Structure 1
Amino acid sequence: MSSTTTTPRTLKVPLVNVYAKGGYSAQLRIGAEKHPLNLILDTGSSTLVVSGSDYVEERDSALTPTSFAQEVLYGIGGWDGPVVYTRVGIREDAIDFDLHDDHVPHAHHPIVLDQCPVAVVSSLAQETSFADADGILGLAYDGLNKVYDLKDYFHHYGIAPALTHPWPFDEEIHLCTQHYRPILTEANRDFSMVQTGSNSAASDAQWHQATEQSFNSEDLRQFKRFLRTQPTNDLPPYFSNLTSHGLTPNKFAFFARRSSIHVASQEVLVPNSANDFAFLGQDPLNQGWLILGGGEEHTELYRGEFKTIAVIENKYYNVNLVGMSIGDNEMVPSLLTQSLAEQAPTSDDAQPDHNELCPDGLHLHTHGVHICDTLRGQSNAIIDTGASAIVLTRHLFGALSQALEAINPSFIQQIAPFSDIAYQQTGIPMDELQLDSWPDLTFYFVGPRNEHEAMPSCDDPDCPPGCEPIAITVTPQHYWQINTPTQGKACFKLLSQLPNWPDQSILGLPLMSGYYVIFDRSVDEKGVIRFAEQKPLVMSEAQLAK
């Protein structure tokens, strides 16, 4: 570990949203050669993962291999590969946007970790999970950074060295669906026989199982099942390493103005080249900031007071979404209490009474919704910087659709194409929209229960402190994005619950793009998330003309 200063401090890292279809990425430099990689910032995961085609491990003299493997399986796609330790630097680039932070010392001095765990994607095909970015920088908690230790497995089958780098599972070693016995190709079978001291016909048959039963790491689902049979460890994520080394305080802040790429020129139809990315990255609307180790001191980025919501579980940034209101309508409850009741035992003998559900009698009251202390611990939403849309439960999205249709039936026709996620890459003509007639959306969250937090309260004298929900408003300018994916087009950034997804909302960039958001993990065991209004963007006449 090394850095330009050993005092915990903030680091202001420039972001752009042009490599990941609206997702924001920071540039890190990986390995002894300090190769620059654009990594998507994701509070919905914890792994620092890079594509093998962008980071060439063979040329990295700082690399230390391990026996660890990692994998992530998405709804569509995913990746697997080895874990290595190597040098990781941040803020070593020369990128600077508009700087107004002289009041924050050392905010642009780089930080370097000499031995930082990095997962390397094993397959070129799997790298499409990152769009045009080079990987992901996960900013969630330690529990999501699971590794599988294959050391005993390698030793048992005489595979040497007992390391996952170079990755042995793509071409050399296949596996069997029945018992996951490795099947070595002719190229390294003789080497393995020497290692194990075996040359019998039985051993030969052992390595060559039926071809139709074998698979390798390209088969993500089968390979995941194999990995689950191996011992696991939790590996400290990148940000946890920064805090444990005393380099930054245990919080970070996120500042972004958009959830889709802003295309201000007809010259750029679809970003597909370095020149397009560079051009789009100069647009202030496509820029942002990550503040590592800080938040409140960067007054150049926000104004007014913060609103604070509770983090319910320190895994993802899990929160409690009480409900949502559309325009001036009454709040639609999230049905958190109903969902939990449906999960409870149904027999009369097994049904818990009120005191068991609410042992201390405390409730959160809001428009007829009651959440006691026990239910406060149940999360039904996550705050996810890696999601470029807001995904609502079917219940909430249905209520939204009904309210929009009541306001203007044409609204339903305008959002209908976006039920197909692929339509985000098409959009509708933005001159068909009348954004001023669309309603604001207000999301209500459970606030913190910490005596050091300033908390509002309702008018009910029987309510405990902090029972009033915390309201975060999303304007039409944020849940609709104009001039995307091309100039003159617009995209709707609200989606209904994904297939096979639990009753949990994913609150992505549209929730945050009007705010300066601090993820403060230093409060209690789980942390809090603070929202303050962004300072307005001051643009030059030339920028406004675009």
Structure 2
Amino acid sequence: MTASRPSLQLATTLAYAKGGYSTALSLGSGECPLNVLLDTGSSTLAVTPGRYAPQQDSRLKATALAQQVTYGKGAWAGPVLQTQVGFGQGEHARRIDDAAFAFVETDSRSFFRDADGILGLAYRHLNPAHDMSTPLRRQGREPALTWPWPYTLGDAAAQSAFKQELLQQPRVTLPPLFQALAQEGLVADVFALQIQRAVVHVLDDAATAGSLARDPLNQGVLVVGGGEECQSLYHGALQDIRIVHDLYYNANLISVQVGDQAPIAAAALAPADVAGYASNAIIDTGSSFIVLENALYQAVVAGIAAHDARLPGLIDAFRQRFQNEHGLANAAIDVADWPALHFRLESCSGGEVCLRCEPSHYWQRNAFRAGESLFLLLPQLPQWPNQSILGLPLLSGRYCIFDRRDHATGRVRVAAAR
């Protein structure tokens, strides 16, 4: 293994995924440029059909593996392939010749919008694949490879049947792309994100992705292989949040405080869910929302009502509008009326780190559509345990270093973004 190189700074943007940051990478022999969503809540590199054409990639290697990945809502499936993946340009380029990725064979538009796929930045436990050799041979397929894709998954019943067959096959854990970069000595085992907003800033509903990308409010930075040394990206002291498990970026949420009211204690994860979910909160850059477990969400909304009895009616009005992916008119929301929220998490020293979430971060203006504001707090997802998902609204205006070098599971270091 060679020594790690200096860190690499890459531009990120909200322009493509709309509710998450993406960065550019190149894929295959033709170095096809792709914009992939940066997600600390998953670990798979997955690419959608469109700009990248596997049949034109002379470096492509098929495997017997397939993946089906489920997020908080919905899932996709496809074959696992190998090819060249690169970041950066010229002398700053980093490249892996045989990186594993999935090629999405089911409808993924609701996940990635105008992005070309996703780059999961969590740990290896979230990157499982299954060896489909046995069922493929039963079909008479030789060699027993999952590319070209031999399944038709056009409806929910077919996808469910495929999932059942998949889970009966031998399980393999694939190294995520960032882990592979670190293992090859191409980068240190740390990355950082400078984050401004949670949802794309739109002043013209007819704007192209290119023009959205030029809006400074839609821009950020990914630092691959570094963090602390990039002092032009942040100011003030770094606060260290303890990561308690290397499944997701699992943290211990202690409490949430509404304005200057008494803190609301966050319940521990239900014992039955500890083995599968590890802690009562995760830090997830793939989430456009802060998702609070049900009891905590209801208590926070009650605290907002205690702050100003008019405000829950605006939340209800937003919920009705958001069923059609619309927010409230900007003029309906004066963030000066709303309280700041204070999230307290366990620090690396055993104390607390307090992250203040401003009303302008959980009510974002011109969000997704011009002239509309989105309320970015949600109650617990269906079929999800009592675990809060601390997404981009809490990280807005911050510089976050995901340092996986510290002990077994790492830490997330947070400061104010410049």
- Structure-2-length-normalised TM-score: 0.94
Alignment counterpart, residue 302 of structure 2, candidates 399, 402, 409: 402
After superposition, where does 1:61-210 map in structure 2 within 5 Å?
61-74=58-71, 76-92=73-89, 109-123=92-106, 125-170=107-152
Q: How far apart, CA to CA, are the structure 1 residues paired with 2:310 and 2:390?
A: 26
SS of 1:23's equivalent in the other structure is coil
- Distance verdict in 2 for CA 1:286–1:423, change over 3 Å: farther
Alignment counterpart, residue 326 of structure 1, candidates 242, 258, 272: 258
Q: How far apart, CA to CA, are the structure 2 residues paired with 1:261 and 1:115?
A: 33
Unaligned runs of 5+ residues in structure 2 are: none
Question: Does the aligned pair in 1 maintain the 2:321–2:328 contact within 8 Å?
Answer: no
Asked if 1:308 is matched to 2:191, the reply is no
Q: How far apart, CA to CA, are the structure 1 residues paired with 2:252 and 2:170?
A: 33
Identity of aligned residues (%): 40
After superposition, where does 1:280-319 map in structure 2 within 5 Å?
280-319=212-251
Question: Does the aligned pair in 2 maintain the 1:430–1:488 contact within 8 Å?
Answer: yes
Asked if 1:526 is matched to 2:416, the reply is no
Asked if 1:488 is matched to 2:371, the reply is yes
- Distance verdict in 2 for CA 1:218–1:46, change over 3 Å: farther
Greater Cα radius of gyration, structure 1 or 2 = 1
Q: How far apart, CA to CA, are the structure 1 residues paired with 2:150 and 2:156?
A: 9
Q: How far apart, CA to CA, are the structure 2 residues paired with 1:507 and 1:14?
A: 23
Alignment counterpart, residue 269 of structure 1, candidates 193, 196, 205: 205
Could you say which residue in structure 1 is the equivalent of 2:42? 45
Number of equivalenced pairs: 417
In structure 1, give the amino acid aligned to 2:302: Q
Could you say which residue in structure 2 is the equivalent of 1:259? 198
SS of 1:395's equivalent in the other structure is helix
Cα distance, 1:378 vs. partner?
Answer: 5.0
SS of 1:336's equivalent in the other structure is coil
Alignment counterpart, residue 511 of structure 1, candidates 394, 402, 411: 394
After superposition, where does 1:351-430 map in structure 2 within 5 Å?
379-419=279-319, 422-423=322-323, 425-430=325-330
Q: How far apart, CA to CA, are the structure 2 residues paired with 1:503 and 1:217?
A: 27
Unaligned runs of 5+ residues in structure 1 are: 94-105, 172-214, 345-373, 449-454, 456-465, 536-546
Question: Does the aligned pair in 1 maintain the 2:45–2:119 contact within 8 Å?
Answer: yes
Cα distance, 1:217 vs. partner?
Answer: 9.2
- Distance verdict in 2 for CA 1:221–1:257, change over 3 Å: same
SS of 1:425's equivalent in the other structure is coil
Could you say which residue in structure 2 is the equivalent of 1:347? none
Q: How far apart, CA to CA, are the structure 2 residues paired with 1:9 and 1:219?
A: 47
Cα distance, 1:420 vs. partner?
Answer: 5.5
Cα distance, 1:434 vs. partner?
Answer: 2.0
In structure 1, give the amino acid aligned to 2:279: S
What RMSD in Å do the two structures reach over aligned CA positions? Answer: 2.4
Cα distance, 1:37 vs. partner?
Answer: 1.0
Q: Deviations over 1:479-531 (max 9, x none)?
A: 11012233322111111111222100011001111210011000000111111
Question: Does the aligned pair in 2 maintain the 1:62–1:86 contact within 8 Å?
Answer: yes
SS of 2:162's equivalent in the other structure is helix
Q: How far apart, CA to CA, are the structure 2 residues paired with 1:270 and 1:503?
A: 39
Cα distance, 1:418 vs. partner?
Answer: 3.6
SS of 1:19's equivalent in the other structure is coil
- Distance verdict in 2 for CA 1:472–1:270, change over 3 Å: same
- Structure-1-length-normalised TM-score: 0.72
Q: How far apart, CA to CA, are the structure 2 residues paired with 1:270 and 1:323?
A: 41
Cα distance, 1:270 vs. partner?
Answer: 5.3
Question: Does the aligned pair in 1 maintain the 2:189–2:225 contact within 8 Å?
Answer: yes
Asked if 1:435 is matched to 2:335, the reply is yes
Question: Does the aligned pair in 1 maintain the 2:8–2:225 contact within 8 Å?
Answer: yes
